[in-house]
Amino acid sequence: MNKRQTTCLGIGITVITLMWLYPPWEYTVVMLGSNTAYNIPTGYYSIFDIPSIRILRSLRANELQSAVVGIDFSLLGSQCVIAILATGGLIYTFKDKKEGQPLNKTKVIRLILLAFVLTIVLALVLTIVLALVYLFPPAG
């Protein structure tokens, strides 16, 4: 890998790390008299600063049966896939161009797989951290 490819890989890993540190959150709300759950996007917050239910005051509180806050994993997963593809595309774009040398597709595929595996490992680590923060909330 050349210097530009290494820089792209570093930026890609940093972006994905920030996505997991500041994930999209959503409320799952069930209204009284309804068995249907509604997902309401609430924005991006740190995994160490979970958004509280108090933001739901815009809804009529007496009509709420239950409200739960959680990470929107479908949106987060989509963002990670896009970041991995963009990083892989940039790494491929900045490859050294040598005349007459065949394209080494296996190297590109390995780099994309490496980015994917690193994302999965990072996701597992940050999910464990999130679970620990949820189980043992910071004092305050």
Q: Is the pLDDT of residue 55 over 60?
A: no
Residue type, 60: R
What is the Cα–Cα distance from 29 to 66, expressed in whole angstroms?
6
What is the Cα–Cα distance from 18 to 46, expressed in whole angstroms?
9
The C-alpha angle 67, 34, 77, rounded to 5 degrees, equals 50
Q: pLDDT category, 19, cuts 50, 70, 90?
A: very high
pLDDT recorded at residue 14: 92
Q: What is the pLDDT of residues 69-117, one digit of tens each?
A: 888 888 998 898 899 888 888 888 888 776 556 667 787 788 778 877 8
Q: Is the pLDDT of residue 124 over 60?
A: yes
Residue type, 53: I
What is the Cα–Cα distance from 49 to 57, expressed in whole angstroms?
19
Q: Is the pLDDT of residue 7 over 90?
A: yes
pLDDT recorded at residue 125: 80
